[in-house]
Amino acid sequence: MADKPSRALIIYGDGFVPLISPSHSNLHSFASQSSCGFLSLRESPPQESEDERVVREFAQLLDAYDAYNKVKGEHANIESRKDLLVPTISERFMGLRAAIFTTCAGIENFGRNLGFSILDFDQLIKNNHSYNDPREVPDPFSTACELLRSLGFQGDEILEKSDFDLVFVHIGAGEKATSLKDRVNNTDIEWVNTLVGAIMQIAQPGSPIASRLHLSLVMSYGAVPENEDHSSSILNSQKGINSDLSVLCPHQSYAMKEGKLLHNIRHHHPMLVAQWQEAVTRKDMAMTFSFKEFDERGANLAILADRFLHEVAFKLWKAPKYGA
């Protein structure tokens, strides 16, 4: 545990797992330095639209699935916080100041009603001092500096006060938008790969930032067809166990919430998550950012996606420790 509260940056690539290749060296390098595992998700409801899926899965990362489920299919029409019937992020986590950068209108609306500050991706890009030509993809290094600045990290200096304690960066694979947003989304995984490399270059081991920045990289599979191969299964209870004894296996914790078994858990295609903070997170044996590597060598196995934000908030001294 750090001697001071951390500040968290979470990069979430919706639908990026199938796009990761051996050439994305920064993602693999980050995984090799991190603590890796899985976040389990709920099954998709019948006839769910892509826009609904995007918000529903993001809601699970915010532990707001139940709130979203009450208004599912209507997130674009949510006019006020009272429609969600859930405390704000600040109320839930001891005054936590949190923001989201996104190009998705549904997530903007949902996050705003949960009390997140919604920041303009275009403005972040325009703040890049090296960004001059509107036809160019924004420089990831300058973008990394701007993101870290919002958390109070400026150069090698850690400012006493910061705009936010936690910043989400949400990027959806294949999203189509206008203006500067298109140029980010059209480069998708390549841009994120370079962005992660830039952040790690700034927060090098031994630097003041490295021990105070809690960096999470979360990648999902996006929409999973019903006939998709389920080889990416996190249902570990049956591995190597005689079928006659399988009924004696306890329920997996990733399929439970508040002591109750959830019956709509998807036991395959989880989110992949790698977390790093110097001298705080433990390094496991995973060497690449992939399902197989996390499954065989990751330290964290699977937890319910709803628990993710609580685990991060604990590092920020905004939530009590959960579990062991």
Per-residue pLDDT of the chain (324 residues; tens, 9 = 90+): 567 899 999 999 999 999 999 999 999 999 999 999 999 999 999 889 999 999 999 999 999 998 888 766 444 455 555 555 678 999 999 999 999 999 899 999 999 999 999 998 776 766 655 555 544 566 788 889 999 999 999 988 899 999 999 999 999 875 543 444 444 444 679 999 999 999 999 999 889 999 999 999 999 999 987 766 667 888 754 454 444 544 555 667 888 898 889 989 999 999 999 999 998 998 999 999 999 999 999 999 899 999 999 999 999 999 987 655
321: in domain = no
Task: Give SS3 for 291.
Answer: helix
Threshold 0.85, pTM exceeds: yes
226: in domain = yes
Two structure tokens written together for 98 = 């949190």
55: in domain = yes
Amino acid identity, residue 240?
G
CB 35 within 8 A of CB 229: no
CATH code of the domain in which 13 resides? 3.40.720.10
Where in the sequence is the domain holding 73, given as residue range(s)? 7-315
Amino acid identity, residue 108?
E
> How far apart, in whole angstroms, are the C-alpha atoms of residue 111 and residue 62?
9
Look at the alpha carbons of 289, 291, 293, 296 in this order and tell me if their dihedral is positive or negative.
positive
1: in domain = no
16: in domain = yes
129: in domain = yes
18: in domain = yes
How many domains does the structure of the chain reveal?
1
64: in domain = yes
